[in-house]
Chains A and B, each alone.
Chain A
């Protein structure tokens, strides 16, 4: 992928969805990632939660909060 294509996609994201664009800009400034960078990225993945994000779902959560 050439640089012009990357820039055009990021500019498109900036216009359409600023929060996504910010995340993309942070990613593209990263160079030579260390194991700590990978660990930080792993934490982002680990924090992704279907039931907390898809609040419009009609199915019960996988891990309902404890009431006691």
Chain B
């Protein structure tokens, strides 16, 4: 449990840090790292439930937040694929804008998901990052 939470903190911090870039490669790395962070967050949540005994309402809320975050990340991946395919074309600016818009939405859904976990008692503080 402790190991999972510590790793989660590191991965989440990493995804926030590299998520700031808009370059194709760095954006891809940020989205890929966020996928690892999300899976790690779910694993940590699963381990935390028998310890924290969250209410069923909280569990429903976390699942709903996860579903929204996952859906928003699927949109990001679609936008990323379109951007990669159209890079250098006359439509590149529009595709870049669509990708940035999708990332902005996903950033919010990720924050909602992680905030719920934090409120439920899962420590996702980034303060332990070396």
Contact = CB atoms under 8 A, between A and B. Distances in A.
Contact of A17 (B4, B60, B63, B82): B4
Contact of B33 (A16, A24, A36, A59): A24
A33 B77 contact: no
Interface string B54-65: 001001100100
Interface in A11-68: 12-13, 16-17, 20, 23-24, 27-28, 30-39, 41-42, 44-46, 48, 50-51, 53-59, 62
A13 to B, nearest CB: 6
Contacts of B80: 33, 38, 41
B123 interface: no
Q: What's the interface size class on B, roughly?
A: 35 or more
A20 B42 contact: no
Contact of A50 (B14, B28, B42): B42
A9 B84 contact: no
A51 B130 CA distance: 33
A67 B81 CA distance: 37
Q: Is the interface of A mostly helix, strand, loop or mixed?
A: helix
A12 B129 CA distance: 8
- Most chain B CB inside 10 Å of its own CB: which residue of A5, A45, A57: A45
A13 B36 CA distance: 12
A38 B59 contact: no
Given A38-B80, A44-B35, A32 B42 contact: no
Interface of A: 1, 5-6, 8-9, 12-13, 16-17, 20, 23-24, 27-28, 30-39, 41-42, 44-46, 48, 50-51, 53-59, 62
